[in-house]
Structures are given as structure tokens and as C-alpha cells.
Amino acid sequence: MKNTDLLLKAFLLLLLVLALQPGAARAQEDFEPEEMTAFMLQVPHGVEGSGLAVGGSNLSAYVFFESYYNGNMNVTLELDLPEGFIPQDASVHSFSLQTEYEDWYRLVDIYIPQNLPSGTYNITATAVIDVDGSKHAIVRRTHFRVASKEEITNEITISGLMIPSDEDGYGDPSHPSNTLIIRETSPALKKLLKITDLKIDREEFTSTFMGVEVTNKGDSTVPVVVTYNILDIKTGEPVKAFKPTIMGMNSDTFCYAALTLPPGSSSLVSLPLYISDNAMGGDYLLRVEVKLTGSDWVAVTRDQKITAVSRKWGPIMITFASTLLGLTAVSLFFSRSKEIMDRFKTRNLVLISLFGTVSFAAINLPMTILWELSHAIFGPFSFLFTGLFYEILLYMLIASLVVLIPKPGVVSLFMMVRFLLGGFITGSFTPITFITLSLSAVVLEVMMYVAGITGKSPDPENRFKVGMVCGIADMIGGYVSFSVWMVLYRLFYSNWYIMANILIDGFLYTFIGAWFGISLGNRLKKVAE
């Protein structure tokens, strides 16, 4: 009986083996290594196709293997290097992948000897896959070119250099080319900015960017590293003020870009440019260098003379003097307000308030919308449009008001009404508005009094005289306004832009407005009479 049971069990076991064996064999036959795996070889890392290197460099070959097979897979991978190449790591690796989408990768460091002959070399990676005892082999080959320094120098060029640039590396037309702007960081100004609620944010430590365009004229893919130095133009030594230590790290850590240049292509990259507090203005030499990845040898160098614009004391002094003048004028007005106001009749004050309100309604309110719109359409030339409101219409009202009331103090009261309406309705109680309006009022008042337009024997209907006085006064006010903006908001304006604003907006438009304003004032005077 026992023998019968044993025979029965053996028979069932045999049937089970016979039933399973065809499935296993079929699974082995159905395994397609190219479809059920991903096998990649890049030499050097990141280069697909033919790579390039120079003798004496260290490279990293990237080997990647991934399984799409839902089962155990044993892999033996061997990297076959050309004669002369020196692997810094093991060239044979064995590993097991247990599940679907499991992967394995390595960076295999390779040294290219200095005296290795130039030419194209083949690198082969072979993966032997063992699935349930069945072995499959997959081979990957890539070409690798070793070139001489002369060949590489002729193939790679720095084809473009834009400084300053935006974050994408394109030139910044709002700043002069080859010029760095050193931001104002004096302790006195910091205190002033704190009072006016304007802060120097350390995130603005990055002063600007530079755009570097690199071109590969060869027929191999080239991995490169782009970096730069700012040198003393006399000694050739690096200036640390332009590469300061940031968060305990040397800024070289941030001032580089890695590129992979396909054959016959160009790439544009931007590099951050940092300026420390102790940077000085003057001329410097910008040196941009391109190195091949894995080598410290500089393949391409391009020098560019640049200028660092340091702190301008002129705008600072103008801002300080204008602020002092504005505060003095306001203090004088409040200390002698009764005496000043008694010089005007009630109807004069009503008329001044009316003109101030009209100027606010006809100029300030529309320009809150048109200002942004004109900048979007006309860009830096938007002042040609906004000047129609801010200069022609404004000085038409001022000149006509002076014709009606040719007394000292009229312009100041008119400006005060505009300042108060703007502050209470649009919230424009800003230091810049106070400084520019108070200075414009004082300058225009003084010049009108000295020119005889207002005073004891007023001559407010002389078109040429009024136009000249208003034009010159507005030119002064315009220049002061630019200075205040540059100091308090640390902005930069090109000289041509300032000159165009002052001459066209400040003088021409103002002269036209004053000219027509006298006609308007004469007509209003006839109506009043």
C-alpha cells in the first residue's frame, strides 16, 4: 500500500513538472532583450552621439540599465575602452533587478592621457542578461573623438557677449552696454531709505547678468563650462569686490554655466554678476573663459573692457538740497500763513483752488491709466505722449492763472492744491512728489518774480518771457526729479534719455503750454470783466 502511494505521488510530481516546463521555456523564448530593457551609454555624461575631449582630461562615462521585465534579472555589464584610455573605476559590474521599471546606473571615470593621439575611438558596453537561466547579450557602441588643443580652439568660439543682460542672457537696452552700475549703499542713504520706507533688499545683491553666446563649429558634441573673472585693468589680478563671498561660499560656486553644444550650434547662457559694497568705480577687464568638461584647460578666452559706474554724488547732493529747500518753503508758509493768505482776496483763493482742481481732474486722474498704457506702447519714448498732459496742459493752466492773478505765491498755492488732492484721492503722498513739487513751485515763483512776470509791476502777458521762464524752471525741476528717482529708487537713466526729457518735455512742451496759456488767461480775464 505504501509503495502504491509513493508511486502515485511520483507520478503526480512528474505531471506537474511536465505541465510547468513548457511555460518556463515559452517565457524564456518570449523574452526580447531590446524590448524589455533600456540600455544607454553616454561618453562623456550628457552627450548623445559622438563626444569630444582633449588629452589630459578626466571624463565620466554614463551607463544606464532599466528592466521592463516583471521578474528576476541578473545582469553582468562590461565597459570596453580603447587602448590608452585609463578607467578610474571597475569596468565590469554585476547586479540584479527584481521588478519591472527597476534600474541601475553608474558614472565610470576615465582619464584621457595627455599624449594620446588625436582621432576617433570606439567605446563598447556589453550587458549579459540572465533570465531564468537563459542568457541574452545587448551591445551599445559610441564614438568618441580626442582632438588636439589647436583643433578645439578653432572649433569653439565665444560669438556673443552682452553685458549687462536680463536673466535670459539677452541685452538690456535700458542700461548702457559694457557698464556695471554700483548700487548706492552708503550708511546715510540707508537711514534715509529707512525713514522713507524704502529698503535696500539683500536679495538685490545680484547686480546684473551677462549673456554669453558660445558656438560649436565642429562635427562633435562638446560639453563645456563657461565662467568669468573681472580683472584689474592694470595688474590683471582678479577683483574680489566683483566676486564676493556669498553665504560663506565663494561666488565662483554660482558664476558658471555648463553647456552641451551639438555640432554646428550656438547656445546663449546668462551668468549672474555680483557686486559687493566695497566695489569701486572705474575701468575693468572682463575675461570670459570656456573650458571643456573634465579639463582645466581654457579652450577659449574673450576679453572685454567694462566700466563700473560708482556712486554719483551730484544726484545725492541735489536730492538733499531739494529736500532741504522744500522743507524750508513749507516751514516758511506755515509760519507766515496768515500774512501770505491775507495778500489774496477770497475770489483769488477760490480761483486758485478751481485751477488746482481742474489740473488734478484733467491731468492726474487720466494719467493714472494712461501712464502705464503709454509705457506699454511707446516704451522709453512715452514721455512724448505724457508730456502733452504733464507739460502743455499743466503750463497752460499755470500761465493763464498767472495772467489772472499776477502775484507771488500763486504758483505755490496752485501746486499745494494739486499735492493735497493727489495725496488724499490717489494716495500719492510720497517723498518724491513732495520734493519735486515744492522745488518746482519755489523755482518758478522766484524766476517769475525776478523776470517781472509777478510782483509790483507785473508783466504776465509777455508770451516769450513767460514761455522762457516756465521752460527753464521746468528743465530744472525735471533734472531734479531724475536725480531724486536715481537716489531714492537707485535707478539708472541714460544721458540721452535725461537730455531728451529735459529739452522736449521740460522746455519745448512747457514753452508751448505757457504760450497758449496766456491766450487762455486773456480770454478768461475778458469773461471775468
| Sequence ranges of the domains in the chain | 37-147, 152-309, 313-528
Where is 121: in which H helix or E strand?
A: strand 119-131
Describe the crossing of helices 410-426 and 431-450 by its angle, rounded to 10 degrees.
160
What 3-state class would DSSP assign to 173? coil
- pLDDT above 90 coverage of the chain, percent: 30
Model confidence pLDDT, tens digit, residues 377-400: 887 788 888 888 788 999 999 999
Is pLDDT above 50 for 204?
no
How far is Cα 47 from Cα 45, in angstroms, rounded to an integer?
6
The label of the residue with cell 511555460 reads 23
pLDDT value, residue 305: 92
Identity of the residue numbered 134: S
The label of the residue with cell 589680478 reads 237
Mean pLDDT (the chain) is 83
Q: Mean pLDDT across the stretch 84-93?
A: 88
| Helix, strand, coil percent content, the chain, rounded in steps of 5 | 45, 30, 25
Same fold, 37-147 and 152-309: yes
Quickly state the pLDDT bin for 9 (edges 50, 70, 90).
low
The length of the chain in residues reads 529
> Which CATH architecture best describes the domain 37-147?
Sandwich (2.60)
Q: Mean pLDDT across the stretch 42-54?
A: 84
Is pLDDT above 80 for 343?
yes
Is pLDDT above 70 for 186?
no
How far is Cα 227 from Cα 158, in angstroms, rounded to an integer?
12
Quickly state the pLDDT bin for 144 (edges 50, 70, 90).
confident
pLDDT value, residue 6: 55
Quickly state the pLDDT bin for 205 (edges 50, 70, 90).
low
Is pLDDT above 70 for 344?
yes
Is pLDDT above 50 for 403?
yes
- Measured torsion, CA atoms of residues 25, 26, 27, 28, in degrees rounded to the nearest 10: 50
Instruction: Record the pTM.
Output: 0.56
How far is Cα 51 from Cα 62, in angstroms, rounded to an integer?
12
For residue 504, give the DSSP letter. I
How far is Cα 165 from Cα 182, in angstroms, rounded to an integer?
15
Model confidence pLDDT, tens digit, residues 406-452: 988 899 999 899 888 888 887 777 888 888 888 899 999 999 999 99
Model confidence pLDDT, tens digit, residues 478-503: 999 888 888 887 677 778 888 999 99
Identity of the residue numbered 139: V
- pLDDT above 70 coverage of the chain, percent: 86
Quickly state the pLDDT bin for 157 (edges 50, 70, 90).
very high
Residue 436 CA, chain-centre distance (Å), reads 30
Distant-in-sequence, close-in-space partners of 344: CB < 8 Å, separation ≥ 6: 352, 405, 407, 409, 413
What 3-state class would DSSP assign to 259? strand
Identity of the residue numbered 376: A
Check if CATH label 1.10.287.90 holds for domain 152-309.
no
Q: How many other β-carbons are positioned within 10 Å of the β-carbon of residue 415?
A: 22
Q: Mean pLDDT across the stretch 112-138?
A: 90
Model confidence pLDDT, tens digit, residues 226-280: 999 999 988 888 888 887 766 666 666 668 888 889 889 999 999 988 887 677 7
How far is Cα 108 from Cα 60, in angstroms, rounded to an integer?
5
Lowest-confidence region among 77-81, 223-227, 329-333, 487-491: 487-491
- Measured torsion, CA atoms of residues 26, 32, 33, 36, in degrees rounded to the nearest 10: -100
The CA distances from residue 375 to 189, 381, 412, in Å, are 29, 8, 30
Describe the crossing of helices 510-528 and 394-404 by its angle, rounded to 10 degrees.
40
In angstroms and rounded to an integer, the radius of gyration of the C-alpha atoms of the chain is 39
CB 257 within 8 A of CB 195: no
For residue 171, give the DSSP letter. B
Strands 51-54 and 134-147: parallel
pLDDT value, residue 311: 63
Could you tell me which of 396, 489, 391, 477 has the C-alpha nearest to residue 437? Answer: 477
